[in-house]
Structure 1
Amino acid sequence: MTADVAGGPTTEQQSRAAKDAAYRVHNILRTHSGETVPLHDPQDDELTVPRAAAELLRQILSAMAAGVPVSVIPAHAELTTQQAADLLNVSRPHVIKLLEQGEIEYRLVGTHRRVLASSLRAFKESSERRQTAAADELTRLTEEMGLY
């Protein structure tokens, strides 16, 4: 299940509303440190949501305020190789190579490969950590050589 929250470019009015709402949710999160967070509807009825849900809402609103399309995918969702490629912003053949090299966990359904969204996220986070470490090392070497 994928829910396109932004569904494409946001209008200026949507961006402003999302920015205001993100700011308000951020302030609520700052002032409530518990596992749940109270939100209020127009009739001032309280809605208590898990802190993680409020944080996710803040992130979605911040992305919408910046005009970035947002998709929400459950961690247990199984993705096709094309969907995985789209999320990683790489080609499908590259994803298949990563799967066959054991970089990303997958399972076969008949002859089709299926990737758990959680496995894809773990790969992406690991890849970003490696990239950051490589950039830090390059910066260190550049400074050590006096080139920076």
Structure 2
Amino acid sequence: MTQLQNKLPSLQEAELARLCSRELSAVLETRAESQQVSLTDKRGQIHNVSIPVSALRMLVDVLTELGEGNAVRLVPVGAEMTTQEVADLLNISRPTLIRFLDNGELPYHRTGNRRKIRYVDALAYRNKLVNQRHDALDELGALDQELGLGYE
């Protein structure tokens, strides 16, 4: 797991990120596989670099998040996460996550005495929880309507 930034961006960093995000998305060639980008080093020398468009799209997403004042973490899809990282992703406590793991609700494996969860498994479980919450809300809404407790 690569932490790109450990702290929230300053107001100046956020403003610069917003500006960069807008400018980069305006020139992004979405139908191309790669795009040439020019960078100037500290000596003023220009370097042309060919970057995959998928990476540039991701950079726009990162800049957008920074522009909104958020810290950013890059998680490789095949990455393994600690129980605390997964608990944070699911917005639940670590003991609750451990209970889910012990009940077999979420796959994991042990590395030494530590439990590791694949990022894709944690994301799939989060999507499952979100869908369950939506279904419960739909059911409550239907009950409200049925009992005449809803808004007319």
Number of positions where the alignment pairs a residue of Structure 1 with one of Structure 2? 146
Structure 2 match to 1:70: 72
Q: Determine whether 1:128 maps to 2:126.
A: no
* TM-score scaled by length of structure 1: 0.79
Q: Distance in 1 between matches of 2:23 and 2:5?
A: 19
Alignment of 1:1-148 (within 5 A): 1-3=1-3, 5-29=4-28, 31-42=29-40, 45-139=47-141, 142=144, 145=148, 147-148=150-151
| Unpaired segments ≥5 residues, structure 1 | none
TM-score by length of 2: 0.77
* CA shift for structure 1 position 133: 4.2
In structure 2, the gaps of 5 or more residues are none
Quote how far apart the aligned CAs of 1:69 are. Answer: 1.2
Q: Could you tell me which amino acid in structure 1 is paired with residue 12 of structure 2?
A: Q
Q: Distance in 2 between matches of 1:84 and 1:44?
A: 42
How far did 1:25 drift? 2.3
Report sequence identity in percent: 29
Deviation at 1:41, TM superposition (A): 2.2
Contact 1:28 1:37 in 2 (8 A): no
Deviation of the 1:62 alpha carbon: 0.9
When Rg is computed on C-alpha atoms for both structures, the one with the higher figure is 2
In structure 2, what residue type is equivalent to 1:14? E
- Residue 11 of structure 1 and its aligned partner are, at CA, apart by 1.1
On the 8 A contact 2:141/2:150 being kept in 1, the answer is no
